[in-house]
Amino acid sequence: MPLTEHQRAALHLMAAHGFGPVAFGTLAPLGPPEAMLRAEPREVELRLAGNRGSSKAAEAWYQARSAFLDGNDARIAGSMALLDRGARLWIRGDEDYPAALQDLRSAPIAVMASGPRLVEALARPCIAIVGTREPTDYGVRQARAVASGLARAGVTVVSGAAHGIDETAHLAALAAGGMTVAVLGVPLGTQDDTVSTRARVTANGGCLTEMFPEHDQHAGSFPQRNRLISALARAVILVQGDHESGTRHTAEFALEQKRLLMAIPGSVEDPNSHVPHLYISRGATLVTGAADVLTALKLPVPADLAVAAPAGPPPTPEGLTEVQERMFTALARAGAPVHMDDVALAAGVAPAVASRELLELELRGLCRRSAGGAYECSR
């Protein structure tokens, strides 16, 4: 099917290197993409003049304008081929453009989408689960459990289709009979190691991307797409990530976009716990399961996810220091044997301090060590 003038204009602006979302927003008062490309050059230059990189944006606009008016679509042939094969083009300002992206100052000029149920998936409450490409078994188990629980609750799980936590979250949501959306850092149709996962996601949700075949692929494409992952979601859950992890980009975007930031804690000895613990210390909501997420967002919690209210911890014994009180309370609330690192994290103390104080509590008969080395309250 031939492209409309509106679609052609948007694709020419997308393909114009140097003309990005900010320039598009600046010219938005001129009308839709086709009106932008028919505007008087002097007016365009004046409007762009206040932007950083205005000369580059103006030059890119001239190139797009010339190709559009001359009917020279060779430069957008790759995108046209994808649309011929069934991909959809959602253009900023149009009714079908994702509402969650419309208000971003850096909202893409257009996104390309695939998946017969993508609109349905985005209409549900969306929650993002992100993390490292090299998770531990613990990280995989936690991501799988939370994604599965959210999917059973009717939530759409959003992630980035990368190996590791992203892929685990997508597949767990699908296995639970739910829906999931992948935000890609590559164009649709790109062949890579996640292509089979993307095919499964497309059938039960969908994929979208702001990267088009005409764009240069670079490492910055992935941090850039992370702002879309967080923007589509009501909450972002951090599972694992070391100090160099791109998960931090998503966390920062979530804070900037005023999304609820949540994190699953891990062992203090595991480098992959760096990002979740960093943001927990900065106020991110600690997550122990899908029910925590649903409750925080005031969404219904299915009966199979609901946790019976505990009877409450026993009274704190007299004569304990403040640190010992916090550790005793952490043990009492756990209700089961827990590792020393987890007690330290819950009490907000260093592992060395936790080791010393647990010994003191043990000597006083307030806790005991199990055969596996974990600790539990003895009252």
The CATH number given to whatever domain includes residue 277 is 3.40.50.450
Segment among 63-67, 97-101, 331-335 with least mean pLDDT: 331-335
Asked whether residue 309 is domain-assigned, the answer is no
Q: Which domain holds residue 235?
A: 118-296
> Domain end: 256, 280, 296, which one?
296
Pull the structure tokens for residue 269.
Answer: 């000895």
CATH no. for residue 338? 1.10.10.10
Asked whether residue 306 is domain-assigned, the answer is no
Q: What is the pLDDT of residues 141-172, one digit of tens each?
A: 999 999 999 999 999 999 999 999 999 999 99
Q: Say what the pLDDT of residue 379 is.
A: 67
pLDDT at 53 over 70: yes
Distance CA 286, CA 264 (A): 6
pLDDT at 93 over 70: yes
Q: Taking the CB of residue 321, how many other CB atoms lie within 10 A of it? A: 10
Mean pLDDT for the stretch of residues 9-14: 96
The pTM (predicted TM-score) of the whole model is 0.80
Residue that wins the pLDDT comparison between 63 and 370 = 63
58: region left, alpha or beta (phi > 0 left; psi from -120 to 50 alpha): alpha
246 and 350 in a single domain? The answer is: no
Alpha helices in the chain (DSSP H): 5-14, 21-27, 33-38, 41-48, 54-70, 77-84, 99-102, 118-123, 137-152, 165-175, 195-203, 221-232, 247-256, 274-281, 290-296, 322-334, 340-347, 351-363
Asked whether residue 188 is domain-assigned, the answer is yes
Asked whether residue 104 is domain-assigned, the answer is no
